[in-house]
A and B are shown apart, each in its own frame.
Chain A
Amino acid sequence: MSRPGAHNPGPVLVRFATAWLLLFGLAADARTEPLVADLSSHLIAITTGFTGTEVLLFGATEGEGDVIVVVRGPETEATVRRKRRVAGIWINTGGVTFERVPSFYAVASSGPLEKVVAPEVRAQQQIGVEHLQFQAPGDISESRLRRYRAALIQNKQQAGLFSREVGKVTFLGERLFRTSIYFPSNVPTGSYMVEVLLVRDGEVASAQTSPLIISKTGIGAEIFEFAHNQSALYGVVAIIGALVAGWTAHLVFRRI
């Protein structure tokens, strides 16, 4: 089912991108643009055969520095519940609802984060899962908040929606860099922000953000939209479909 073109843009695209960047880079020289970057695709279409995909990010820097890439999915609310043993059975008790939790989060860097960028900057720019600043409203003790926050991150990592490790940004020569961002099949839809930071001496020297849209297309999108916009009609159609399927099965197998 996989279309090789969609998964791995291949050397042709890279070469094209490199050539394009060189031209752009020369033009940028005049204006001394310290950082330019772009994605191989600004739209990920979730079709019926979607099993996850990779998006290539490439760019060029002016002068020294490391590159950090941060990808954020649309923000949501998330409720974390803890299981406790009650009368021998594990049941959900007490929950904490966090606000503004990115539905997807990934980081890539050209060097180890601790060496590349100062801790204050990491905290301020929310680089790395440990620096994500989602808040829980209400009166919750600090230690409880910390435990639930850690659990939320761990669950998101297990689902493949938060990166476990920092991805690699590789330099091709002095100025050109590239990295690939992987989106799993359960990736939430919506508008994403891809932030590219140029870091010098532990400080952010330049930044650029590119939007990325992930949306369902084709028959799957139509079914989803139908189910949500005209849910009563959808229910009726689902029932009629099941009735016809059952009746057909009866007719087919009566003959055999």
Chain B
Amino acid sequence: MQIYLPIAEMSLNVFLLLAIGGGVGFLSGMFGVGGGFLMTPLLIFIGVPPAVAVATQANHVVASSVSGVLAHWSRDNVDFKMGFVLLIGGLVGSTLGVILFSFLRRVGQIDLVINLAYVMFLGLVGILMLVESARSMLRRRRRSGAPRKLHQHTWVHGLPFKMRFRKSRLYISALLPLSLGFVIGILAAIMGVGGAFLMVPAMIYLLGMPTAVVIGTSLFQIIFVAANVTFLQSVENQTVDVVLGLLLVIGGVIGAQFGGRLSAKLRAEHLRILLAILVLGLAIQLIFELTRTPENLYTVAALAPGGGP
């Protein structure tokens, strides 16, 4: 059954879209990530214009983060103070990101920048996760060594504007979460992701937050950053397709429930290795796409004739 998407201006199969939403939702429920980094490339792959894919995905992230954050809130796993500081950086960063997005789209380089950003960050995060989970598996086997410190002290703890985050048991400079939110906000706007796959490792390794509050807090701030991106993309580029978004949300929430149930049966290290392999696989696929000789060397960007239906 085909459905005409009013903003993407094309017909796609309803069940294909529900399946994509469900499949990505399943993985996101299993691994506890938003799945935007999988959804956006998949949408582009089935022919949705990149600009529409990125903007619509931001709207989808709002929906999936809300249901996620409510679940974490009921378990008291959200550090709101940290969330707000990240959020301020995130709002500024994502606003800049949307402006950058429009500019790159005008000069015809947006596809390249989206792909390069994906390769770089998926590769980086994939390798980090693989190393980390391999190390923790080894540690479990040996069952030796000194108990792990809460966090290591480095130069970042010498920065000014220190703030106390009770729930995260941290006393760190506010500049750190501010700039983290800012950088990930830019990427969220350009890549059409919530940024949890970057935010979560950064919060654990860079800020030294306890793992329990990390996911809830990152989801909390992602809602607002994604909402900001949705709003700005609507105003600036008119590329948010609510029909597409709705279909992805329906598939997504159902898939996430099944994924969540499966993840309860698997060990955390195994889950992380699986996710790392998935992320690296996607990065390698994108590198292949970028370096392979394209079938058609030319691309055409047409301006809408006059606009209006």
A contacts, CB < 8 Å to B: 1, 46-52, 73-83, 85, 88-92, 95, 101, 103, 148, 151-152, 154-156, 158, 185-186, 188-190, 215-217, 219-221, 223-225, 227-228, 231-232, 234-239, 241-243, 245-247, 249-250, 252-254, 256
Other-chain residue from B2, B243, B303 in contact with A49 (beta carbon distance below 8 A):
B2
A234 partner residues in chain B, CB cutoff 8 A: 234, 238, 240
B67 engages A249 (CB within 8 Å): yes
A249 engages B307 (CB within 8 Å): no
Distance in angstroms between the alpha carbons of A110 and B243 in the assembled complex: 43
A224 partner residues in chain B, CB cutoff 8 A: 6-7, 309
A80 partner residues in chain B, CB cutoff 8 A: 298-300
B108 partner residues in chain A, CB cutoff 8 A: 79, 81, 92, 95
A189 engages B309 (CB within 8 Å): yes
B63 engages A249 (CB within 8 Å): yes
B299 engages A242 (CB within 8 Å): no
One digit per residue, 1 when the CB lies within 8 angstroms of any chain A CB and 0 when it does not, for chain B 95-116 equals: 0000000000000110110001
Max chain B CB contacts within 10 Å: which of A219, A245, A252? A245
Other-chain residue from A1, A148, A216, A236 in contact with B231 (beta carbon distance below 8 A):
A236
Other-chain residue from B4, B71, B309 in contact with A185 (beta carbon distance below 8 A):
B4
B243 engages A235 (CB within 8 Å): no
Distance in angstroms between the alpha carbons of A10 and B134 in the assembled complex: 67
Distance in angstroms between the alpha carbons of A61 and B203 in the assembled complex: 77
Which one of B84-92, B152-160, B267-275, B287-295 is at the A interface?
Answer: B287-295
B59 engages A239 (CB within 8 Å): yes
B8 to A, closest residue via Cβ: A186
Supposing A234-B234, A243-B66, A250-B67 touch, asked if A50 and B11 sit within 8 A by C-beta, the answer is: yes
B6 engages A242 (CB within 8 Å): no
A90 engages B305 (CB within 8 Å): no
Other-chain residue from A48, A82, A188, A246 in contact with B63 (beta carbon distance below 8 A):
A246
B301 partner residues in chain A, CB cutoff 8 A: 78-79, 81
In this assembly, does B130 line the interface, its C-beta being within 8 Å of a C-beta of chain A? Answer: no
Other-chain residue from B2, B70, B296 in contact with A51 (beta carbon distance below 8 A):
B2
A223 engages B242 (CB within 8 Å): yes
Q: How far is the CB of A134 from chain B (nearest CB, A)?
A: 12
Q: How far is the CB of B278 from chain A (nearest CB, A)?
A: 23
What 7 additional pairs, Cβ within 8 angstroms, besides A234-B234, A242-B63, A246-B64?
A46-B4, A48-B3, A50-B4, A83-B294, A89-B291, A186-B11, A253-B253
B300 to A, closest residue via Cβ: A155
Other-chain residue from A47, A75, A92, A247 in contact with B66 (beta carbon distance below 8 A):
A247
B239 to A, closest residue via Cβ: A227
B305 partner residues in chain A, CB cutoff 8 A: 73-76, 103, 188-190
B246 partner residues in chain A, CB cutoff 8 A: 241, 245
Q: How far is the CB of B10 from chain A (nearest CB, A)?
A: 5
In this assembly, does B168 line the interface, its C-beta being within 8 Å of a C-beta of chain A? Answer: no
Which 8 residue pairs across A and B have the least CB separation, nearest first? Answer: A246-B66, A235-B234, A151-B298, A242-B62, A249-B253, A216-B309, A74-B305, A235-B231
A47 engages B291 (CB within 8 Å): no
Distance in angstroms between the alpha carbons of A75 and B255 in the assembled complex: 44
B292 partner residues in chain A, CB cutoff 8 A: 90
B308 engages A225 (CB within 8 Å): yes
Max chain A CB contacts within 10 Å: which of B10, B240, B297, B305? B305
In this assembly, does B257 line the interface, its C-beta being within 8 Å of a C-beta of chain A? Answer: yes
In this assembly, does B227 line the interface, its C-beta being within 8 Å of a C-beta of chain A? Answer: yes
Distance in angstroms between the alpha carbons of A249 and B2 in the assembled complex: 25
A254 partner residues in chain B, CB cutoff 8 A: 71
Other-chain residue from B238, B253, B257, B299 in contact with A92 (beta carbon distance below 8 A):
B299
Query: 22 A-B residue contacts at CB 8 Å?
Result: A50-B4, A78-B303, A82-B297, A88-B291, A90-B290, A92-B109, A154-B296, A155-B298, A186-B10, A228-B238, A228-B307, A232-B234, A235-B240, A239-B59, A242-B59, A242-B245, A243-B223, A245-B249, A245-B253, A246-B65, A247-B70, A249-B63
B297 partner residues in chain A, CB cutoff 8 A: 82-83, 151
Distance in angstroms between the alpha carbons of A217 and B4 in the assembled complex: 11
Q: How far is the CB of B72 from chain A (nearest CB, A)?
A: 11
Supposing A239-B230, A242-B63, A246-B64 touch, asked if A231 and B235 sit within 8 A by C-beta, the answer is: yes
Q: How far is the CB of B160 from chain A (nearest CB, A)?
A: 35
A50 partner residues in chain B, CB cutoff 8 A: 4, 11
B4 engages A220 (CB within 8 Å): yes
Distance in angstroms between the alpha carbons of A243 and B306 in the assembled complex: 34
Distance in angstroms between the alpha carbons of A85 and B290 in the assembled complex: 9
Which residues of chain B (219-270) have a CB below 8 Å from chain A?
223, 227, 230-235, 238, 240, 242-243, 245-246, 249, 253, 257
